[in-house]
Amino acid sequence: KPFEVDEVFARLRALLRRVDKAVAAGGAAIDGPDGVVRAGDLHIDPGARRAWRGPREVELTRTEFDLLHLLARNEGIVLDHATIYDRIWGYDFGPNSKNLAVYVGYLRRKLDVPGAPPLIHTLRGVGYVLRAS
């Protein structure tokens, strides 16, 4: 059948990310015994879909929660744009998409506390990482 080379490469990248995800799962942060993911003063309860920064509960949309949970479970690990797009939205929006940057901005506005270090860091041209310290 005729096919688009770009589509074949996109499908191969998606397959490789799934393999990388399965391999990386062994190194990802494990939920605590109560199921809560902790990173510094950030606490995420995936079962209840609730998150707190210190004593303050943070109201998050579905996508914001999923993105924060992904970053927190992989604390200290840089996640590239393609991996985040695949894990949160199920596909890559393409190199010109600003969708991810918009959601990271939403999270930063909701999470960052004056006087406290930011949680989410940008590695320009690579991706994002959550660092609690």
Q: Which domain holds residue 62?
A: 5-130
Helix or strand or coil: residue 9?
helix
Beta bridge partners of 66: none
pTM: 0.74
Tell me how many domains the chain contains: 1
For every residue of 40-78, DSSP letters joined together read TTEEEETTTTEEEETTEEE---HHHHHHHHHHHHTTTPP
User: What is the CATH number for 102?
Assistant: 1.10.10.10
Contact 130, 79 (CB under 8 A): no
Task: From first to last of the 133 residues of the chain, give the pLDDT tens digit.
Answer: 567 777 777 777 776 766 555 444 443 444 566 678 999 899 999 999 999 999 999 999 999 999 999 999 999 999 999 899 989 988 777 777 889 999 999 999 999 988 888 999 999 989 999 998 7
